[in-house]
Amino acid sequence: MAEILGNITISLVHVAIPLTIILLFALVAIWGERKIAGFIQDRLGPYRVGGWHGWAQSIADLLKLLQKEDIIPKDANRFLFKFAPFMMFTASFAAFAVIPFSSAYIGSMINIGVFYLLAVTSILTLSVIMAGWASNNKWSLLGGMRGAAQLISYEVPTIASVLMVIVVSGSLNLMTVTEMQSGNDVLGFLPNWFIFQNPFLIIGFVIFFISILAESHRVPFDLPESESELVAGYQTEYSGMRWAMFMLAEYADMLLLSLLGATLFFGGWNSPFGDFMAGPVWGFFWFMLKGLLLVFVMMWIRWTLPRYRVDHLMHICWNVLIPLAFVNLVLVALWEVIF
């Protein structure tokens, strides 16, 4: 019995560490997103709550959302309506188990790492359909269908671009993938990150980044919730904390995919200066910095580019990204064989 309790305690710690990171990230990122939006649009953004640059705005918003009434439409499917936001968050949260946050910490050392991550996040699609259908609202349903079509389509270039890195690394475990990128040997000074090791992986990263923008349905690919056409897509009928769960899931997904990108292409927790500023704590710092930089680029793009039309979105995926990804996969493999 004591052994079971011990196992459960260890598991709970492994659950708590990524959860804390996600919650802190969501608080900072929502504030950051509004500040970045403000600066890009030549205004100030939140400025009052908390004093310095309105840093407490997200906390105030959270407290407001907590007090809001939980409205469920009369004809909605109650169980699925209540369940969908939690399933969405669980799907992206569960994937954090295989992310190596630093050289000293990874949730699970399972051998199939990144494959597990891709498999678990495929549940996201279902929760989008579930929310869209259960709301009993035409906007929700249209948003849900669009979301599902988009997520399914963009899963193909995402997996293909992840596969390019797997071809180079030869391991699915993200910890091993990161360890292979230690050192500064490329051209004598550049770090051994995969993006510098193989020129075709730069194209791979571009494909990966476009695909994760679509996977986490951010502008310019936010068709599932495009507010000018569909009110708020599959989130239309949600209010209060359930809506907040959707937001949390969206930010968790953003962070997850950015951290995955940082691990696969930018050396994960490896310091850019070789042994200088290296070690488990610095590793965590570098890893989060790389991830947050990618998140920043995603926000930057969101407030710069207009939204794509739904058929253009599908065209980009099936006619441009997927053929390019497969050709590039072969080129990456050829480069590995030759050099």
Partner 1 sequence: MELTTILFYLFALVTVGAAAVMVFSKNIVHSAFALMFSLIGVAALYVLLYADFLAAAQLLVYVGGILILILFGVMLTSQGLTVDYKSTTVNLLPAALLSITAAALLIFAFTTTKWIVSTPVDRDETVYDLGMLLMGDYILAFIVVGVLLLITIIGAILMSTRLITQTGKTD
Which residue ranges make up the site for partner 1 (CB under 8 A)?
A: 3-4, 7-8, 77, 80, 110-112, 115-116, 118-120, 122-123, 125-126, 129-130, 133, 141, 145, 148, 152, 155, 172, 311
What phi, psi does 277 have (nearest 5°)?
A: 55, 40
Nearer to partner 1 among residue 47 and residue 115 (C-beta): 115
- CA 26, CA 28: separation in Å to the nearest integer? 6
- Rounded to the nearest whole angstrom, what is the least distance from the CB of residue 135 to partner 1 in the complex? 12
Nearer to partner 1 among residue 119 and residue 281 (C-beta): 119
Query: Which letter, b or e, does each residue of 314-330 get, where b requires 16 or more Cβ atoms within 10 Å of its Cβ?
Result: bebbeeebbebbeebbe
Nearer to partner 1 among residue 54 and residue 100 (C-beta): 100
Nearer to partner 1 among residue 27 and residue 260 (C-beta): 260
Nearer to partner 1 among residue 57 and residue 137 (C-beta): 137
- CA 134, CA 84: separation in Å to the nearest integer? 9
- CA 178, CA 267: separation in Å to the nearest integer? 6
- Rounded to the nearest whole angstrom, what is the least distance from the CB of residue 155 to partner 1 in the complex? 7
Query: Which letter, b or e, does each residue of 93-111 get, where b requires 16 or more Cβ atoms within 10 Å of its Cβ?
Result: bbbbbbbbbbbebbbeeee
Which residue is associated with the tokens 């407001």? 64
- Rounded to the nearest whole angstrom, what is the least distance from the CB of residue 159 to partner 1 in the complex? 9
- Rounded to the nearest whole angstrom, what is the least distance from the CB of residue 293 to partner 1 in the complex? 29
Nearer to partner 1 among residue 10 and residue 281 (C-beta): 10
- Rounded to the nearest whole angstrom, what is the least distance from the CB of residue 123 to partner 1 in the complex? 6
Q: Which DSSP symbol is given to 54?
A: G
- Rounded to the nearest whole angstrom, what is the least distance from the CB of residue 302 to partner 1 in the complex? 26
Cα–Cα distances in angstroms (integers) from residue 41 to residues 46, 236, 302, 304, in the given order: 13, 26, 12, 9
Give one DSSP letter per residue of 69-90, joined into a string: -----TTS-HHHHHHHHHHHHH
